[in-house]
Amino acid sequence: MKGYRTYCWLNVSIYGLLLASGLGVAFLPAPGGIEASDPELVDTGLVFAFDPSALRFVGYGVAIVATVLIALALLALKRNRSETSYALHVANIAAGISSCVLTPYCAWLMKEWIRPEFKARYLGSTVTKGGDLKPKEGEGSRPTFKL
pLDDT at 17: 94
pLDDT at 95: 87
pLDDT at 43: 60
Residue 41 · residue 47 · CB < 8 Å: yes
Burial call 27-65: b when 16+ CB within 10 Å, e when fewer: eeebeeeeeeeeeeeeeeeeeeeeeeeebeeebeebbee
pLDDT at 122: 80
pLDDT at 81: 78
Closest listed residue to residue 74, CA positions, set 35, 16, 143: 16
pLDDT at 39: 61
Residue 93 · residue 4 · CB < 8 Å: yes
Threshold 0.75, pTM exceeds: no
pLDDT at 60: 93
Residues in the chain predicted with pLDDT less than 70, given as ranges, are: 30-52, 125-147
pLDDT at 138: 43
- Report the 3 state secondary structure along the chain: CHHHHHHHHHHHHHHHHHHHHHHHHHHCCCCCCCCCCCHHHHHHCCCCCCCHHHHHHHHHHHHHHHHHHHHHHHHHCCCCCCHHHHHHHHHHHHHHHCCCCCHHHHHHHHHHHCCHHHHHHHCCCCCCCCCCCCECCCCCCCCCECC
pLDDT at 37: 55
pLDDT at 136: 44
d(Cα 147, Cα 145) in Å, to the nearest integer?
6
C-alpha 33, offset from chain centre? 34
